[in-house]
Each structure stands twice: as C-alpha cells, then as structure tokens.
Amino acid sequence: MSTKQVEAVLHGSAFGMVGDGFRVTNYFPNGNKPGRKMSPFILLDYHPPHTYTPTKQARGVGVHPHRGFETVTLAFQGAIAHHDSFGGSGTIFPGDVQWMTAGSGLLHKEYHEAAFTQNGGVMQMLQLWVNLPAKDKNVRPRYQAITRNQMTRVQADEGEGFVEVIAGEHKGAKGPAMTFTPIHMYRVQLSAGAKHSFDIPENFNTGILWVKGNGSVNETREAKELDFLLFNQAGTNFTIQATTDIELVVLAGEPIDEPVVQYGPFVMNHPIEIQEAIEDYHAGKYGVLEE
C-alpha cells in the first residue's frame, strides 16, 4: 500500500449566477484547467450556503438541452426540483442526489422547490458533470432519484463521523448510483479529532471538495473550506484528519481516454458530433418540456 499525495489545491472562480436561482463558484473547467487529471469529471459547480428571500416566482434554470454526459446534483441544504423531457422528475432534499443521464439528448429544468420558494431559506448544493464514453453517448436518457436513506454509511476509523457512499464502494459498502464507468463518490462528515482512510485504485483520478471546516491530508497537507484537493494518480491510500468538524465530497474515477469536445450543454468526442447535437436540438429531437 502506497500513499496518494495531493498534487495541487484548486480554488473556485468568482461567484456568479446560474439562471436566477443558483449562486455558484466553478472549480473546473472554467475556474481551473485540470485537463485529463479529473476525467471522467468535466465540470464542478459548488453553491455554498446562501440565503434566498421568500418569493412567489420560482428561481432556477429554465428549459435547456444536454447531450453526451450526466449531471449529478447533491443537496446539502434547501430543496431542488427537476423535470426533463423523458418523464424524469423529482425533488431532492438535504443529503439527496439527482443523477441524470442526458445520453442521446433531452431537455430539462431545475429550480427551487415550491415550499422553499415561498418560505425562503438557505440553499447549499453541488453539481457535477460526468462524461460518458463514446459507446454510451447515445444511450436513452434516464433519471436516478437517490435519497439519503438509500446510501450506506461507513463509520469513521477513529472518532465520530461517517462516510456516505453515493457511487462505487468503500470498505465493502456499495453506493446505489448506477454508473457507466467506474466511479466512487462519497459524502464525508467527521467530528473534530476524527480520522478516516481511503483506498482508491492507482489509475483513478481523485479529488476532494472541502465543504466545511479545517483539517489535513496524510497529516501533512492542511486543507480548509472551499479548497479542492487534486491528487496524483500514483499511490492508493490517503487519510483525512479533522481539526474542526468537517464535511467534504470525495470524487474518484477511472479516466476516459478519449477526445473531449464541449460546446455549452453538449459534450461529445468530435466537432461534427457537436454540430449534429445542435441540429437535433433545433429539429425537436430532444422532446418537449414546458417552461
């Protein structure tokens, strides 16, 4: 067993609004350029805690298309609703996950849930885009609504805390998310003084979004809220220590060794496929979804 070391600490871009409902910072690709070092993950937006006032008009992102990848949304606080043109719909509450496969193409919209809109409150969430390999770019769209009680918890090695397994596995516990390529995604909460170790295959790209608190990795590299820790591929094991109460999201995945061409909401392998995606969208091949 060899230690996996932190290669770099990435910081998010300036805060900006996605639609009128999500105040986010982007870690990649616009905030930083990790290139293939985070494949199969191609975008990470994080919405730290932000208070929205009550309103009668739902805030969010209106109808828009996607093709060739998956969106993964994790709610920490607040409530987020989703509808798509293939019949997928649902609301996620704190700890829940929406895992939407755009595949061959769909329309969707996401916005603050009705009661949250009317009452206002604190919203905190994360959205991740996961690439699909060429052979799966045109799969039929699907929607996975994953509630927190479906996730397996692994107790901290030392002290109080736990790891919730969303995708992949950790210490024998398997997550409920279905993925097209090998991916591990964990939500981690550790109390001050707690410690926990992780084993990741050596060829996987690995990163940690440090959501809350202060701590360290491998007892040497300090980390704080809003850091994104990018690891070297070499090594298989790392340990997290909590100085204060901490919360983080661990991402690890087998790289997809294929060309990536992104144009807005389309992620394909070649420019001609992007043009086809745009033409199919304008031809109405992604279905129908009302605003």
Domains of the chain with bracketed CATH: 6-253 (2.60.120.10)
d(C-alpha 149, C-alpha 237), whole Å: 28
* Cα–Cα nearest to 6, from 212, 258, 233, 284: 233
Structure tokens at 11: 């910081």
- The mean pLDDT value for 253-265 works out to 96
Q: What is the pTM of this model?
A: 0.97
- Omega cis (within 30) before 265: no
Q: Sign of torsion, CA 150 236 126 43?
A: negative
What confidence tier does 114 reach under pLDDT thresholds 50, 70, 90? very high
Q: Looking at residue 33, what is its pLDDT?
A: 80
Structure confidence by residue, pLDDT tens digits, 18-29: 999 999 999 999
d(C-alpha 154, C-alpha 152), whole Å: 7
DSSP 3: B
Q: Looking at residue 83, what is its pLDDT?
A: 96
Q: Looking at residue 48, what is its pLDDT?
A: 98
Structure confidence by residue, pLDDT tens digits, 144-176: 999 999 999 999 999 999 999 999 999 999 999
Structure tokens at 98: 């929406």
- The mean pLDDT value for 19-47 works out to 92
**Chain CA centroid to CA 45, Å:** 8
Structure confidence by residue, pLDDT tens digits, 195-224: 999 999 999 999 999 999 999 999 999 999
Listed as own residue / partner, the contacts of 30-37 with beta carbons closer than 8 Å and 24 or more positions apart are 32/228, 34/10, 34/230, 36/205, 36/255, 37/7, 37/205, 37/230
